Chains A and B, each alone.
Chain A
Amino acid sequence: MVSISEQIMFVNFREKQQIRHDEIIIIQNNDFEILNSISMEYKTIALININLSSHFMNIVRKKLGIDKYRFILGGDKLKELINNTLSDLMVDKEHNIIKIENIEYIFNKFDSYANVSYDIDFNLLTKEYCMRPKKKYGKIYLQIMASAMEGFHGKKCHIIENQVWFSGGLLPSELYEWCLQNFELYLQELHSSLSVFRNIFLMDGMDDKISRDFLSAYYQYTDYIGSIIDVVSYKIWNLSTPEKIFILQTSSSLLFTLDDNIDVALKVIELLQMKLCCENELITYCNERVGQKCNREECLYFLMNIMSDIRRKSMITLRNVSGYIDSIARGI
């Protein structure tokens, strides 16, 4: 599931190969004043926490051949390495290598999932595996999850001792490699995942209260946002210039910093109803506009609405957020 990216680390690689230790800046990604002032100077963005969205960004970057910005995944590992050294970093742009104290780190190797915080239980006999959950799941929820996930990415599911076990599927990092090689299929899988959520949360006979209880107990709002933002980002990204991609990524990252004390169930249902398809044209599923096409501006408006809605409901004061979003809108 998507995790929350709490920080963005800016590493100023620009033109030179050697980077001083103090040239690396790590900021909270809701600190927009700093973000605005440095974002155009810094060309490399290291994402502190690995999440599905950041993988997606990397996929798109490769797909579109955009090399203006470098996205380094698993930035937490890089941050740890940098924190533990006083020496300068050497960068080999051609081969995507960072050299710290004579040890070479390949950019894309940072996302080897070595820092994933959860453990996997793996059955050495049957080859089934279970992602160890941080929370204990109830029986009903497990049944819903198992039935919804059945067949997803070729997985088969069953429940043993309050855990959902998978067999026949790929581990997340294997899935990531697969995504790199099967981009279009990956997009289809994303759609499947949205359908899975829809199946879970809009079940017949499940009233708002029950679904609200489910959702607030097991998932955070940012999880749902993360599940949909990839598709939205991709479409806008594909239609925009590289500069706007950076802006979009920054604004997307806004979503990952938010407090989860909001009405999660209602928000998710609303989002699902507004689901955007990744077809040739963007199509909304808003109640009042089912099947109608929307353009980039409308799509952005959708994002802005989400963000302003969140700002209103979450009790978090995000400095300059309105102005920031306005400037994005004007830019596009």
Chain B
Amino acid sequence: METKIILRTSNEVNNRCGTKAQGLAFLGAKVNVPQFVVLDVDNFIRLISFLNICTVNEFFNNDFSDLHRCIENSYSKVQLDYPIEPEISYIVRSSAVPNILSDSFSSEISGAFESYTCVGADIVKAILKVYQSCFTLKAYKQLKLFSQPVNFLGMGIIIQKYINAVYSGVIHVTGKNNIHIQWINGHLSKIVSGKEFGFSNLIYFNTKKEPIIRGTELEILIIKKNDLYDILGTAANIAVKIYKSIEKPCEIEWIYDGNTHWIVQCQELLK
């Protein structure tokens, strides 16, 4: 017996799709966001029920290894009800749905679960691997830190076209002249996973609205030698544009593919 997973397009995103998906859908009209589809929380729960996999609440006191084995054996029973190109690379990530639904893009459990890169043919496996990552010590600790799963209703899943990164990073914007950019040569997953730190600088705008980056001489030299002026300056300008749109401090994940700046994630910063 098999089941079909129903996916929503970016135009159909609602508050049952999770904070990340909502953020991306909102920004899609303003900045470059890679094409994506979403598995909302209701269909996600239906999927989990079909596979007879226990829910998050039930599993916190159990042996995680059994669950991992259970998921490993399940993915072949599921089909997608959406045209996913089998040869193209995608990134699959969680989009948590808070218990108290709001229009906010914030999520207290940001970073708790893993994201996976795969080709279209392996999407279902990647979705279940994201779910599987709920049951790791890292996720458990983070959920516990924020008193979850009390406020944790469930999980949506975002399936987004993978962008090859030449440079990428994470930006925290807390004001028009308070832009903290963390950047790296290659994909930002190295930063997000904590494997590498990259470089971290403050960017502000002078009275002529020109972007000024503050850093050590070594960092400035790297920027100079690699001609990164435009890449970092544009990233900062996009960050300010987003900050003005949502009018709240936010965390933005960006990728430069050698031609275009893409925003792959945006969430309101925790207070």
Contact = CB atoms under 8 A, between A and B. Distances in A.
Contact of B215 (A119, A123, A173): A119
Given A124-B230, A125-B233, A116 B217 contact: yes
A174 B229 contact: no
Interface in B74-89: none
A331 B70 CA distance: 84
Contacts of B203: 124
Given A160-B206, A171-B224, A123 B211 contact: yes
A122 B215 contact: yes
Residue of B215, B221, B236 with most partner-chain A CB within 10 A = B221
B230 A114 contact: no
B224 A124 contact: no
B63 to A, nearest CB: 38
A interface, over-half SS: loop
A56 interface: no
A124 B221 contact: no
A43 to B, nearest CB: 29
B141 interface: no
A174 B223 CA distance: 13
A291 interface: no
Contact of A113 (B210, B212, B213, B218): B218
Contacts, number: 63
Interface residues of A, number: 21
A132 B216 CA distance: 10
A104 interface: no
Interface in A118-166: 119-127, 129, 132, 160-161
B138 interface: no
B220 interface: yes
A112 interface: yes
Nearest to B219: A120
A168 interface: no
A121 B214 CA distance: 4
A173 B206 contact: no
Nearest to B229: A124
Given A160-B206, A171-B224, A173-B221, A124 B216 contact: no
A173 B224 CA distance: 12
B263 interface: no
Contacts of A121: 212-214
Contacts of A125: 210-211, 229, 233
A119 B216 contact: yes
Interface of B: 203, 206-207, 210-218, 220-221, 223-224, 229-230, 232-233, 236
Interface of A: 112-114, 116, 119-127, 129, 132, 160-161, 171-174
30 contacts: A112-B218, A113-B218, A114-B216, A116-B216, A116-B217, A119-B214, A120-B216, A120-B217, A121-B214, A122-B212, A122-B213, A122-B215, A122-B223, A122-B224, A123-B206, A123-B211, A124-B210, A124-B211, A124-B213, A124-B223, A124-B229, A124-B230, A129-B220, A132-B214, A161-B206, A161-B207, A171-B221, A172-B217, A173-B218, A173-B221
